[in-house]
Amino acid sequence: MIDTHCHIDFEDFEKDRAEVIRRAQDKLDLIIASGYSIDSNRDVLNLSKEYEGFIYPTFGFHPVSSQNCSDEELKDAHNYLIENLDNIVAVGEVGMDYYYVTDKALRERQQEIFRSFLDIANEHKVPIVMHVRDCEKKAVNIIEDYDDIPYFVFHCYGGSLKTAKRIMARDDSYMSFSTMLCYSKHHQELIEKIDLDYVLTETDSPYLAMTKEERNEPANVTKAVAKIAEIKNMDIGTVDEITTGNARKIFNL
């Protein structure tokens, strides 16, 4: 099994990061650590070097963090990404967040920054991991402008079934489902109707734990896989084989 999206670099894991990674190593094939900012990108790269062959990094700039950045900061993020394209498995997470941001000007800024990273992924022909919350339909419309990005991943997909069907109509787009499957009725209803050929698994840890008191961690992706198997009345091994195969193909692992 693979946790395709986690934030193992966050301070939440500062005191016991080695133990958390060890638990993940006991259960998973590998994990993908998603960069969140310039500093986070550096941190996930360092972790990938420390745990070579188990942790793989992506470089991104989260929309809520980047919407207020200066042009110089954005340029620095672009340059650092381009300099490290050979060291990462995808661009991301980048995108738009209309759940937290309702201001029209900030939403336009988010889209502008999102497109700047899409341009890089398109030019260099690398996959992209997208944080597109409450704007999934808009994101599908936007990515139609990019022909050379090999794969698009809708991280922690929570949009409508109608939009999911549009995603499944493409041969380059996938939806990642997290441990939210264990408690979110909406996500459970979605996964019931979505073809596993378009599905990845993740935790988004330390977020999206089973309870508010818990801290999520990569090893818990096994719970998401088990829930998918339960909902779809499938063997866990089959769900694992399909979703892991999808991840290996997309990220060239």
Question: Helix, strand, or coil here: 43?
Answer: helix
Local mean pLDDT, 10-residue blocks, the chain (253 residues): 98 97 98 96 98 98 93 97 98 96 95 98 98 98 98 98 98 97 97 98 95 90 98 98 98 98
Task: Locate the domains of the chain by residue range.
Answer: 2-251
When computed from its CA atoms, the radius of gyration of the chain, rounded to whole angstroms, is 17
CATH of 2-251, one of 3.40.50.1370, 3.40.50.2000, 3.20.20.140, 3.30.1310.10: 3.20.20.140
The pLDDT score that the predictor gives to residue 235 is 98
Query: CB within 8 A of 46, min separation 6: which ones?
Result: none
Among candidates 37, 40, 39, 38, which has minimal Cα distance to 8?
Answer: 40
The strands making up 173-177's β-sheet, listed across from edge to edge, are: 2-6, 30-34, 55-59, 90-97, 128-133, 152-154, 173-177, 199-201
The pLDDT score that the predictor gives to residue 212 is 73
Question: Helix, strand, or coil here: 175?
Answer: strand
Provide the whole-model pTM: 0.97
Burial class (CB within 10 angstroms; exposed 0-12, middle 13-18, buried 19+) of 234: middle
The pLDDT score that the predictor gives to residue 70 is 94
Burial class (CB within 10 angstroms; exposed 0-12, middle 13-18, buried 19+) of 23: middle
In degrees to the nearest 10, what's the CA dihedral of 93, 52, 173, 191? -90
- 96 DSSP β-pair partners: 132
* Interaxial angle between packed helices 136-143 and 104-124, expressed in degrees from 0 to 180 and rounded to the nearest 10: 40
